[in-house]
């Protein structure tokens, strides 16, 4: 069986992204390595033992490939990644209280209720809760 072990999201500042994804979104740090020369290798994942075999790499988004891609995706209003939540309305209110800016509040989209937030490091992130 093949499973996803790691995926990445390009960010414009790994240190700021790490703080946002852990302190605000609530992920836990899985890996934080200083590779030298100002380069960090940081992964986060779901807290409390959930999805231990799945990590999100906060990938530096500078460079001739990543930067134009990230900018185009953001300007098109497309989420860079989708996170599932158990209760989108509670999560939306919690994050708004922390000052998170949302591109749109929770709304029905087919089989899910979804909201889109700005992660402060160059991406739009979708939160989704399955209906029913």
* pLDDT tens profile 87-116: 999 999 999 999 999 999 999 999 999 999
Specify the pTM.
0.93
In angstroms, what CA-CA distances link 103 with 33, 79, 97, 122? 32, 10, 15, 13
Residue-averaged pLDDT of the chain: 96
Stated length of the chain: 132
For the stretch 46-88, pLDDT in tens is 998 889 999 999 999 988 999 999 999 999 999 999 999 999 9
d(CA 82, CA 79): 7
Which tokens sit at 58? 């906060």
């Amino acid at each position: 069986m093949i499973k996803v072990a790691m995926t990445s999201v390009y960010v414009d500042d790994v240190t700021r992204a790490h703080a946002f994804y852990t302190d605000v979104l609530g992920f836990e740090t899985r890996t934080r390595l200083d590779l030298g020369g100002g380069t960090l290798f940081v992964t986060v994942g779901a807290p409390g033992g959930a999805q231990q075999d799945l990590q999100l790499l906060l990938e530096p988004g500078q460079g001739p490939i990543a930067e134009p891609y990230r900018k185009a995706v953001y300007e098109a209003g497309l989420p860079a990644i989708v996170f599932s939540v158990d209760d989108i309305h509670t999560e939306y209110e919690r994050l708004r209280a922390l000052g998170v800016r949302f591109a749109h509040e929770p709304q029905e989209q087919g089989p899910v209720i979804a909201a889109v937030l700005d992660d402060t490091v160059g991406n739009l992130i979708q939160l989704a809760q399955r209906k029913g």
